[in-house]
Structure 1
Amino acid sequence: MKLTNALLISLCVSGVSLFYLGSVSAKDSDSLTSKNSASIAPAMTISLKPIAQAKPSLSVLALDSEGLRVVNKSTGATRAIAFGTKEADVVSILTNLRGKPRNRGVNQECGAGPLGFASWADGLSLQFNKGRFAGWKVDGRSQGANKLTTIDGVGTGSTRTQLNKAYTVKVSQSSLGTEFSAGSLGGLLSGSKPADRVTSLWSGITCFFR
């Protein structure tokens, strides 16, 4: 975990060029979804072939407020898998990197409408809206979840102090618990003290019952 986090943090300070596929702006949705737009725009048309053929042994998956990133361990180069990318392409890339999803299906009970999902054993779950990548969530209760971090090294298991050092954070109490927002990232903390830890992390459209 330490090596992975060190790699991801180093990318921020070394000025590595980032290759964006596209992005969407955040917009309030209803109380059953995260505070991002329910309508996900298609990603810019850029070939996903370099990511789809990435070697798992040479790649690290990083969480991103606008989707996901694949980081090349050898070169430090990153490729974005942006919200709006086709569902089939996203699932294919992640299957290549980390194996087939443990579960796939459709959640019919979300305020944004039915959301497709794909989830893995380490707590990573992706959401899809109308065939497009719309959001992700990491459940810190799953074994291995703390290995999934942003390029800033923040993931489930990070302390509130670490979170505050990496982002401008707003914390509030909701029916979900101690909830925070850091730009387009959202999540839950185990409490309000500096040593309390991130227990869940998400971005994009995610279905919650509040």
Structure 2
Amino acid sequence: MRPSISAFFLALTLINAPAMADVYWPGPGDVVTPHATGLFLNSADGTPREGMPFGSSFHATMHTLVPIYGHDVSVGFPQECGEGPMVSVSIPGQINLMFQDDRLTGWMLIDDSTLRTATGLGVGSPQEALSAEGPVSFFETGIGTEFGAGDLFGLMAEDGRTVAGIWSGATCIFR
């Protein structure tokens, strides 16, 4: 019995097709690292991957983060942001993202976030850890003691000794 011509072309196509194992797809175990210019991404084995700088599209950002964190996201439309209309995406226990005009414009680590910056700064970090991000300044606002550390900003906990939140880029914080 002779193989059909279509079976021959199918076999030829499969031989010349790239192996799926060679194609990177974000997944659980990959590491997202907040940075002053957006989000860095490393695969589970530590290989740097294309990140999501500020300006990345909503679709591309969520297409990358959902395989890592799952579908447990909350989307909101905060009113009266000083920066103009925004879309807020909360990934519980990880990060809050801000989008404007379909583009990633900011991020926040608050509450029970487990993410850390490249220098290890995160919610619950001691005040001394702020210096790893750059020069630190403190100022009082309507929400408490805020800080600027290099290109990152945030809020100190009521005890004044630990970080309660960190953010970069455009946010919708009511002071």
Instruction: Give the whole-Å Cα distance in 2 for the aligned partners of 1:167 and 1:175.
Output: 24
Deviation of 1:191 after TM superposition, in Å, equals: 5.2
Higher relative contact order (CA 8 A, sep 6+): 1
Which residue pairs with 2:101 in the alignment? 130
Partner Cα distance (1:165, 1:90) in 2:
27
Q: The residue matched to 2:77 in structure 1 has which SS?
A: strand
Gaps of 5+ in 1: 1-49
- Aligned-partner residue type, residue 42 of structure 2: V
Task: Name the count of aligned residue pairs.
Answer: 153
- What's the TM-score once normalised by structure 1's chain length? 0.67
The offset of 1:164, in angstroms, is 1.7
The one-character-per-residue Cα deviations of 1:140-173 (angstroms, maximum 9, x if unpaired) are x23xx1x200111111111011112442211111
Give how far 1:112 is off.
1.2
Q: In the aligned structure 1, how far is the partner of 2:169 from the partner of 2:132?
A: 22
Measured in 1, the distance between the counterparts of 2:46 and 2:79 equals 42
Paired amino acid for 1:136: W
Identity level (%): 30
Query: Any gaps of 5 or more consecutive residues in structure 2?
Result: 1-22
2: CA distance between counterparts of 1:182 and 1:86?
A: 27
- For 1:110 and 1:104, how far apart are their aligned partners in 2? 16
Residue 54 of structure 1 and its aligned partner are, at CA, apart by 2.1
CA contact (8 A) 1:169 1:181 kept: yes
- Equivalent in the alignment of 1:40: none
CA distance in 2, matches of 1:100, 1:169: 36
Q: Which residue of 1 aligns with 2:4?
A: none
For normalisation by structure 2, the TM-score amounts to 0.80
| Cα-Cα RMSD | 1.9
